[in-house]
Structure 1
Amino acid sequence: MSTGVIIALIVIVAAVAVVAAAVTILARRPQGGRSLQRRFGPEYDRTVARHDGDTKAAEHDLAERVRRHGSLRERALEPGVREKYVVRWAAAQERFVESPREAVAEADQLIGEVAGARGFPDGQYEEQYAALSVHHGPHVLGYRRVHRAALARTPDGDGAGTEGLRKAMLEARALFEELVSPVRQDASSNGAGEKPSAAPTASTRPEGSAPEGRAHLPWSFTRRQAKGS
């Protein structure tokens, strides 16, 4: 190999290293408003409302979450463990017909357990929720609503009685389905960029089709079937 070729190869390698370093630096910079909106979905609007419409303060809050939890890499669930979670969720759905509040409490506990098993902070709800919002922003509000419904006598802000509980369960189910999905090779967030699409959830897949890599979760009750609480 000639000296010229060797020098050319060294230059190419150095250029690739510089580009990679630049991409890494850019990825770690605070995200702008549009990027945060895409990443967090409805959670972005909730955070803005919580800051009384102060977009700058809300985006600072969300960017801080990305800084703390963006590098978290989700652990895969063993097939047997995943199946146990799926069975427990199906049982909670069945229980809703007779005992809506008990079913919601079980759903709240179950999401917390699955999130912990996937590597999210375990034990502190708010910290776990913040981490989940970074990686599952479009569906994380379901967890907040089912958690509040489980703690309150009536689901504050989500409707009254059984109907509010039903809506909380339906929204939480979308997050649960993402959490029991197999971890894809390209699904881990790098701490700043947008996360690639997860496996189809109840809200995105064709009606009646089963999610990729997991058993279909039948929804066993309707508004008329559930008894009042």
Structure 2
Amino acid sequence: MTTVVIIVALALVAACALAFLYARQRGGHGIRRRFGPEYDRTVARHDGDAKAAERELHERLKRHGSLHERPLTPEAREQYAERWTRIEGGFVDAPQQSVAEADALLAELARDLGFPDGRDFGEQSAALSVHHAEHVNGYRRVHAAKKGDGGTEDMREALLEARGLFDVLVSNGTDQPVRRHPHHAEGSGKA
């Protein structure tokens, strides 16, 4: 009888250990799935240490996961869209100024939606990464490009990538595009 109890106890311990390992492994996949490219970027920043990256991402979730974006009024959406169109339109003549203005506009837009103030870029981009992981890298690229370290093509690519975050933020999290002005053509060659 005691042998049966010992065998059952060992089986239960083994089952619990396997369940724990499975849950832990799925947790990593869940965080990877939630953060997408942001997960990979964070792992790379931690020199391939997935556990350290996951700890950082879990901390971001804890700090910013409960943040609820405030909706923009239709008028505010239109004003932001007009400003972005002007920024893109000015890129050919003043690329450095355009990326600096795009960086400032994204910081202001994020703040107006309820994200941390843009004066602390790291904190604001961390919060954005929790809610918009697929697009936050464009904001980071524009922020870095405004320093002028890269060439015009780098700035153009940064502005194009940042537009993805802009579009998501200004659409209040919907997939409804903001009306673009007729003089702004997607394939016009402008940023």
One fold, TM greater than 0.5? yes
What percent identity do the matched residue pairs reach? 55
Q: Does 1:69 align with 2:64?
A: yes
CA distance, structure 1, for counterparts of residue 97 and residue 40 of structure 2:
30
Q: Which 5+ residue runs of structure 1 have no aligned equivalent? A: 1-28, 156-160, 183-197, 201-211
Displacement of 1:220 = 6.9
Are residue 105 (structure 1) and residue 69 (structure 2) matched?
no
Q: Secondary structure, in 3 states, of the residue corresponding to 1:154?
A: coil
Deviation digits for residues 124-157 of structure 1 (CA, Å, limit 9, x no counterpart): 111000000000000000000000011x2223xx
- Report the AA paired with residue 126 of structure 1: G
Structure 1 residues 57 and 108: alpha-carbon distance in aligned structure 2, compared to 1, 3 A threshold? same
Q: Does the CA-based 8 Å contact 1:93-1:221 persist in structure 2?
A: no
Query: Of 37, 46, 68, which residue of structure 1 is paired with 2:41?
Result: 46
Alignment coverage as a number of residue pairs: 163
Contact 1:120–1:132 (Cα < 8 Å) also in 2: yes
Q: Residue 139 of structure 1 contacts residue 175 of structure 1 at CA under 8 Å; is this kept in 2?
A: yes
Per the alignment, residue 5 of structure 1 pairs with none
CA distance in 2, matches of 1:35, 1:77: 30
Q: 2:191 matched to 1:216?
A: no
4+ residue stretches of structure 1 with deviation over 3 A? Answer: 216-221
Determine which structure has more spread, i.e. the larger CA radius of gyration. Answer: 2
Matching of residue 34 in structure 1 with residue 9 in structure 2:
no
Report Cα offsets for 1:153-176 as digits up to 9, x if no partner.
223xxxxx1110111001100000
Q: Is the 8 A contact 2:167 2:177 kept in 1?
A: no
168 and 213 in structure 1: CA distance in 2 versus 1, 3 angstrom threshold: closer
CA distance in 2, matches of 1:85, 1:165: 20
Q: Distance in 2 between matches of 1:53 and 1:127?
A: 22
**Aligned-residue CA RMSD in angstroms?**
1.9
Deviation at 1:199, TM superposition (A): 3.1
TM-score, reference length from structure 2: 0.80
Runs of 5+ consecutive residues of structure 2 not aligned to the other structure? 1-23
Partner Cα distance (1:176, 1:69) in 2? 19
Structure 1 Cα separation of the partners of residues 188 and 38 of structure 2: 27
With over 3 angstroms needed to count, the CA separation of the structure-2 counterparts of 1:55 and 1:34, relative to structure 1, is same
User: Paired residue for 1:144?
Assistant: 140
Structure-1-length-normalised TM-score: 0.67
1:135 equivalenced with 2:135 (yes/no): no
Determine helix, strand or coil for the equivalent of 2:134.
helix
